[in-house]
Structure 1
Amino acid sequence: MPERNRRVLLARRPTGIPQPDDFSLDAVPVPEPGPGEILVRNLYLSVDPAQRGWASAEANYSQPVPLGGVMRALAVGVVVRSNAPDVAEGEFLYGWFGWQDYAAVPVSAIFRRCTEPVPLSAHAGLLGLNGLTAYLGFVELGRPLPGETVLVSTAAGAVGSLVGQIARILGCHPLGLTGDDAKVARCRDAYGYAAAWNYRTEDWAAALAREAPEGVNVYFDNVGGPILDAALRRMAVGGRIVQCGTASVANWAETPTGPRVEREILTRRLVWSGFVVLDHKARFEEAITALAGWYAEGRITLDEDVSKGIEGAPGAIASLYRGENRGKRLIVVG
């Protein structure tokens, strides 16, 4: 076993989206697990949009990562030493193990055990935070009905690509927005979207009006900003908006402004809900069972964008927000 543990540390508070210079790398001795703890050798580090909020000092749903601390991240790893009676050496786990080679953690850091018959990396995406977010955000807050029109922003992302496929499986009419032509094609050809548009180059609002003349029943939004402003005005009466992210807003230090929406919400009788996946733990196993089943049946396409080397982690969040990923972003270490 290597004698050093490479770590990615948060060196300073980001202004907006974390950049490579906001992090530093070091190497320290491999930690020893304490009583009741386990030592996990990370294999796949997850890169998630939520890490922007975890690194920020702005108000969020979780405490910020302390300066000088290992960057908070979910990861898939293998137990190499266990002082916990219910965790065996050799088990594969998905949990809060951070951007590092090794994590000595209590069993409370385990998010879930990797037991389903899917590729090991899929436990960080399809059966991880992304899949849970897609399924529970869409099903619980979107409350879709067969035949309804569903609009998804970042439709080719790790979450959006799954929302589109789940909508199709449940008998809905999914429509997608994404930021380049290759992703538009992927939405149509692989993710089951009935139509998709490049919001940078197309008049997508006009195209949406033609494709869905009766309006959008469910809008699963990952971006906020001007796209949300326009989508609100295409919602059907009784529509549901699932606010999963605000990727288009570069900085929340000053409150961004935009068109007033109260009248749209009132006259269209909209329900607009914020979604944080950790609020829905009671339904995690339901979601895992459904997603794993659909994958086994060949009804889910899973794309992964995997790079090698922890040295690339400091720039990974910024790359994600630039839309450079092609599927779920993962970093292989070891």
Structure 2
Amino acid sequence: MSKAITGGAHPQAKTVSRAGALAGRKLNLYGLLFASPWILGLLIFYALPLVLSIYYSFTSYSILKPGEWVGLDNYRNLMNDKSFWIGIYNTIYFTVIFVPLSIVIGVGVAVLLNMKIKGMSVYRTIFFLPTLVPHVAIAIIWLWILNPRLGLINLALEWVGIQGPAWLSSVAWSKPALIFMSLWGIGNAIVIYLAGLQDVPQDLYDAAAVDGANASQRIRRITIPMLTPVIFFNLVMGMIHAFQQFTLPYALTGGQGTPGTSMLFYVMYLYNNAFIYLKMGYASAMAWILFIVIMILTCIIFVTSKRWVHYQGK
């Protein structure tokens, strides 16, 4: 009797399972249907250009002509291109100075903004506001602020008896001025640091206070180690952003990299080759060199992070 009941239940169970599988396939189909615009956009505007750029980097392709296969000539010519090496130097100069300064200043400002005082939300908003300003507008604002004769900074320096430099008109001061301008817009990183600070357990600070640790010791022994995962993230993102520096120097110089070639950054020269000189194959080779360099540096940071990044519970 039990066998008969069990045997009679099998067809119904199979029917239910088939109906469930059919409903699951319909849901998957609907999901793909709704996601299809994004998938098509990803394939057409990201994946396809990525694959084609590899091919174009071995050709003399321009926007107006299909070009011919030239093998490694584009890469060889880059090694003898003076502007290519100038762009690398300017980009590395900016990255080596800007990224550490952005971390130190970002952490310091975040620590101050984490204090419990009246009106702190207003101060946090003030530090975040520059990130909402378009880069072109930032360039126009700072062109006035850094004006050698009428700029606010040089006027302030004159009040204390210091002759201000020419800033963006000087080969020696143009990159430091750009670094200063970029540091003005690190509000996003400050918000991330602030979120990381609020995730540090208060028990650790209380225990350190009981042991007699002062504020400096608490920051050095508790805050910084607990903040290393956030520092690691901003280090990687800051490095990638710095190597792709483009909008500010382009808006400041109109793509010329003046004064001299002090503001000719790597991505600016890549853009000029692609869309002004119409050397798309040459620019594709530059893009892949930049990609390889960024990937190598990112891998190095990830490997070394095991020594200095500390996660809670580990």
Same fold (TM over 0.5): no
Return the TM-score normalized by structure 2.
0.27
- Counting helix residues as a fraction of each chain, which structure ranks higher? 2
Which protein has greater RCO, CA pairs closer than 8 Å, 6+ apart?
2
Return the TM-score normalized by structure 1.
0.26
- Counting strand residues as a fraction of each chain, which structure ranks higher? 1
Larger radius of gyration: 2
